Structure formats: structure tokens, C-alpha cells
Amino acid sequence: MLLFFVMIALSNGIFIILSRSVNGALSQVTSAFYASLVNHVIGFLFLSIIILFTSSLFTLDLTHIPLMAFCGGIIGAFFVVINSYVLPLLGATLTTILAIGGQVLSSFVIDIIQHGLPEHFYLQSLGVILILAAIGIRHIKPATS
């Protein structure tokens, strides 16, 4: 069963890159904000159709959803806009590596804020530093003579 979830997570990574590439191409023809709008409108329509056909599985009661939960949509929209803007300039690989670096650093900080220092804080800190250093190596240019 674990393998099934690993495959879903890997597929998610593929879909993220495909989505970024399509949105990046669209942003070059229009703008990053327009690409994000198209992304979210099409996503909304797609999810609406799924919900229509599986309505017995979904119940919607907005009164029990905390207001803070709606910030995820705003953050997601900015994520798509930023990726649509940056990907054509930096390329898919560098954009992905930098995004992962930001995810690693922010998730480490959020975990510390929410749960306190982890048991292996120094080892995890070293891991974060090594990941960020590896990303930084990409930008080091050899000295010219």
C-alpha cells in the first residue's frame, strides 16, 4: 500500500512540472496573471464536474470551515502566478530546485514553530544547510583568468 502512495506522490511531481511548463508557455503569450487565471478557472470547472458526478461523496458546509483555510486559495494563486512568470526565465529545473529549497527551509521553520525543536535538530539543520548549499552551487561561476 505504501508503494501506491509513493507512486501518487511521484505522479504529483510530474503533474506539477507539466502544469508549470504549460502555464509558463501561456504566460509568455499573455501574462503570468492571465496564465494563473486560466489555470484556476479550468481547475475549478474540472473539479466542479467531478463533484457533480460524485455528489454523494461531497457535502459542502462553509459554516464549519475556518476563515484562515481560505487563504490557501490565495497562496495557491500566487504560487501559480510566480511559477508562470519565473519558469520561462529560469527554466523548469532551476525553478523547481529553488521552489524545493524554499519548501525545505519554510517547512523546517514551520515545524519548529508548531512542534518545537526536533529531537535531531542539529542533524536536520545540517541537512537543510546542505540542500540550500547545493542549490547555491548552481549560481557559483568559475573565476576567469
DSSP 119: T
Q: Which residue has the cell 519558469?
A: 87
Question: Letter for the amino acid at 111?
Answer: D
- Cell of residue 91, nine digits: 527554466
H or E element: which one contains 40?
Answer: helix 32-53
**Does residue 143 surpass a pLDDT of 60?**
no
Global pTM reads 0.70
**List of residues 6+ apart from 1 with CB closer than 8 A:** none
- Residue range 24-57, pLDDT digits in tens: 899 999 999 999 899 999 999 998 888 888 876 6
The span from the CA of 39 to the CA of 34, in Å, is: 8
- Residue range 76-111, pLDDT digits in tens: 888 889 988 998 988 888 888 888 888 888 988 998
